[in-house]
Amino acid sequence: MKRLFRDVDGGRLCPHGSVVCIGAFDGLHLGHRALVRHAVARARLAGVPAVALSFEPLPREFFATATPPPRLSLPRAKFCGLRAIGADLVGLLRFDARMAALSPREFVQRVLVNRLAAREVHVGPGFRFGHRRAGDLQALRDLGDELGFSADEIAPVSLDGERVSSTRIRAALAAGDFASAARLLGKPYAIDGRVVRGRQLGRTLGYPTANLRFAGKVAALRGIYATWVHGIADVPLPSVSSFGTRPTVGGVEPLLEAHVFDFDGDLYGRRISVEFVERLRDEENYPDLPTLVAQMDRDAAQARHCLQQQQPLQRASA
C-alpha cells in the first residue's frame, strides 16, 4: 500500500475498507493526536488501514494568499508525524480551486467512498467541509447513512481549562513561551528540514550556520533563540539560532540559521531538527557588520548560559 497520496481521484486505495480521520493537523498537538489515535485504535479493531486525511496547502492558506496564516509545521513533518502516531496511509490532498469547488457530497463520494472505502470517519470539534464550508458533522452523518459509513466527532482536548488548539500554540510561540507550547504539543517545539547552502556569510563572521528553509510558508515565530540541534550527533547539540530575513546583510527570504557551538563539519544535505528553548530578542537591522558581530557574540553567550541551565526534553521530531 502507498503511504502517501495527494489526489482526489484515482484507484481505490483501501479495497477492504478503512477508518478515516480528517483534520488540518498543523503541529500535531494533543488534540490532533487524540483524534488520530482514536481512529488508529478503531482501525485495528476492524482489521483495516487507518487513514489520516489532510490538505496542502491548508484551506486557510489557499484563501488568504496575500496574508497567509502562520504554520507550525511543514508538510513533510506532518506526514512523518502522522505515520509515527500510527496512520497507515496519509492523504495530503492538493487544495486548489477544483478542490474548493467540491460540494460536501462530491467530496464524500470521490474521496471517502471511492478512494478509501471508509467504514468510519472521525473528525474534531467544529469540523466543516465542502464548497463554502457547507458541510458539517450532521451532513457527514447523513451522507454516511446513505453511502455506508458512520461518522463521529471526538471530544475536545483541554489543558488548563481551555481547548488545545493551534491558535493557542501560535500565541505561545509568538510570546516566546516554549514551555506552554510544549505542553500543548506534547513535545518541544521544533522545526525539521534539510540543510541547504546559504551565502556562507556566517562563516566569514565566525558563526557558520546550518540553514533550513520554511518552504515558502509563514512561520509562527521570528527572532533570535537558544536552541538544541538534533540529528548531528547521538545527543542534541547546543546552538544559537536566527529565524528571519537577515536585514543587515540584505536578506529577503525567511531562513532558519542554526549556529552549533564548538562544531566544525559539513552538514549540507543533512536532515536536522532545531528545538527552540528560549527567545533572546527580536531580529534587528544593524548599521554595519562589526555591530552585528558584537551582538552575535552577546547572543551566543546568552544562549550558552541558557542551555547550561537545562537539558533537552526529548528527541524533537515531526
Tens of pLDDT, residues 116-155: 999 999 999 999 999 999 999 999 999 999 999 999 999 9
Give the pLDDT confidence score for residue 315 in this predicted structure. Answer: 46
Give the pLDDT confidence score for residue 313 in this predicted structure. Answer: 55
**Class for the domain spanning 187-308:** mainly beta
Q: Do 241 and 259 meet the contact criterion of CB atoms below 8 Å apart?
A: yes
Give the pLDDT confidence score for residue 312 in this predicted structure. Answer: 62
Residues 94 and 195: their CA atoms lie apart, in Å, by 26
**Class for the domain spanning 4-159:** alpha beta
| Over residues 256-277, mean pLDDT | 94
pLDDT tens string 218-229: 999 999 999 999
Write down the residue that cell numbers 509515527 correspond to.
84
pLDDT surpasses 50 at 285: yes
pLDDT surpasses 70 at 17: yes
- 4-159 and 187-308 share one fold: no
| Over residues 208-216, mean pLDDT | 90
Higher pLDDT, 277 or 287: 277
Percent of the chain with pLDDT over 90: 84
Domain boundaries, the chain: 4-159, 187-308
| Over residues 238-264, mean pLDDT | 88
Residues 202 and 255: their CA atoms lie apart, in Å, by 13
| pTM for the full predicted model | 0.92
Confidence of residue 317 (pLDDT cuts 50, 70, 90): very low
